[in-house]
Amino acid sequence: MTSGSDDVLVTGVGLVTPLGNSADVTWNRLLAGDRAGRILKSSDIDHYEQLSRIEGLRLHGAPVNFRGLELVIADSELLSKIPQSVIAAWLSEPLVAMSIAAYCEAVAQAGLEDVLGLGHRENETRTAVVYGSSKGGLRTTERLSELIRSGSAADLDDRHGELDHSEIGLLWQHAFASDSATRAIAAISGAMAGVSCPVAACATGLISVLQGTAMIRSGQCDVCIVGSADAGLRASVIASFHRLRVTSRHADPASACRPFDVSRDGFLIGEGAGVLILESRRHAESRGVAGLACVRGGLWLSDPTGMTQIDQSGSIVAEVLRRSFEKHDFLPDVISLHGTGTEANDLAEARGIDAALSSNAPACFGVKGAMGHLLGAAGSVETILTILALRDQTIPGTTNLQNKDPHCKLRLTSASKSWPGLQRAAKLSLGFGGHVACGVFERE
């Protein structure tokens, strides 16, 4: 590709997903066709008994393996200046723990361990964070709600182990809000060039990438830590999505989410975190660092159809694609789909792509059949997987696709495929509330 003075590069990525606690493990298992969906156990989720009494609800999900995350965090030099009491509060909330682990991996890959968060003020004043979550610290929210209802810390102690008033204060400060993971990353990195927490449902992660890119191009920062996380395997989320009839009723959790298949009936809830290190080309080259990919740009639009509905014509999807591609003179070799496995989403997405690119239909893939729907984490996690596809010249299969819906006119395969010459990729993300986003990326 032809480099430009305003180029923004991805120099590091980190993942925590149901497929693995690193980017490479997740990527390799995805290419191998592994699936993370399983029957949930009482140890996986609070309020298990109450959920099991809901008629028709399948206690299925795609949980993260939290073993090992504590070791990653405990061994990280990046956290050496953070008080242990604060780290303990972070570890108590899955949202924050996943985010910190993904952050540590991304920073290490970018070669920034000796630069960020160690008192290098000249770097900190040029570093920003744009990191979102659609749900916030739900586990902490539930614990604090029980405290409020009980009226005493002692009552909460009986059900959740030892938890004194100072620890409750730390939970409130460091693990409760939507921006709890954002603030944790900002504290570790020492970022001073701006910190924000986008909340845009399932498009949160991709919009974070686009906002961070814009901040670098504006000159506000040289480095921007972007991404998103959600720990949505909570009773409230599972029950709510069941009531909305968007989760699968399939008996086998591994096969539950079947994007673009004629038999699809909804998604499987997962959890995870994705962190990307964005840098201006000038800054990366000054460090002698090569990028994984260049963020060409993108944009997001709004679909006013309804809070949980999408325009079934696909017109908004077509519009965001057209405008993104025209703005950047871009024609993708592959599109990473949102692909939730619901009837409405998949049909609207397919129609939009067909309307925008019918004469130049690219290859497409979706990953939610393998790892579930990571909700607010989906956009960042799937963007990272798209970048790895460019890096390795390989397109993942669309897991659980056995009989493609004939109304979804997309070029899909069920198995991973080597794709020499893969140079340009687009990522689509859609979210409740009408969020429709597209990002475009090019291999370095």
Structure tokens at 22: 């690193």
| pTM, to two decimals | 0.93
Percent of the chain with pLDDT over 70: 91
DSSP H/E element including 87: helix 84-92
pLDDT at 95: 94
Contact call for residues 358 and 411 (beta carbons, < 8 A): no
Beta-sheet pairing, 394-395 with 334-336: unpaired
Domains annotated for the chain, with CATH where assigned, are 8-293 (3.40.47.10), 296-443 (3.40.47.10)
Residues sharing a CB contact under 8 Å with residue 430, sequence separation 6 or more, in sequence order: 202, 203, 310, 317, 338, 340, 345, 348, 349, 436, 437
C-alpha–C-alpha distance, residues 170 and 179, integer Å? 15
pLDDT digits 0-9 by tens, 39-66: 999 988 888 888 888 988 999 999 999 8
Res. 353: pLDDT tops 60 = yes
**What distance in Å separates the CA atoms of residue 98 and residue 26, rounded to the nearest whole number?**
14
DSSP string, 336-396: E----S-HHHHHHHHHHHHHHHGGGPPEEE--HHHH-B-GGGHHHHHHHHHHHHHHHTEEP
366: pLDDT strictly greater than 90: yes
What percent of the chain has a predicted confidence (pLDDT) above 90? 72
The 10s digit of each residue's pLDDT in 265-316 is 999 999 999 999 999 999 999 999 999 999 999 999 998 887 788 889 999 9
Using an 8 Å Cβ cutoff, are 310 and 37 in contact?
no
pLDDT tens digits for 77-92? Answer: 788 778 888 788 788 8
The pLDDT value recorded for residue 407 is 96
Give pLDDT tens digits for 162-203.
455 455 555 566 666 789 999 999 989 999 999 999 999 999
Distance CA 117, CA 79 (A): 9
Q: Give the per-residue pLDDT at 156.
A: 47
* pLDDT at position 159: 42
Q: Report the chain's terminal Cα–Cα distance, integer Å.
A: 7
Closest C-alpha to 350, from 268, 434, 406, 414: 406
Tokens representing 389?
A: 């596809």
Q: What pLDDT, on a 0 to 100 scale, did the predictor assign at position 152? A: 54
* Helix (H), strand (E), coil (C) string for 209-277: HHHHHHHHHHCCCCEEEEEEEECCCCHHHHHHHHHCCCECCCCCHHHCCCCCECCCCCECEECEEEEEE
pLDDT at site 122: 67
β-pairing, 334-336 vs 424-431, is parallel
For the stretch 382-432, pLDDT in tens is 999 999 999 999 999 999 999 999 999 999 999 999 999 999 999 999 999
Contacts of 309 (CB under 8 A, 6+ apart): 344
* pLDDT at res. 165: 47
Identify the pLDDT of residue 161: 47
**300 touches 203 (CB < 8 A):** yes
Amino acid present at 293:
A
Residue with tokens 């810390």: 153
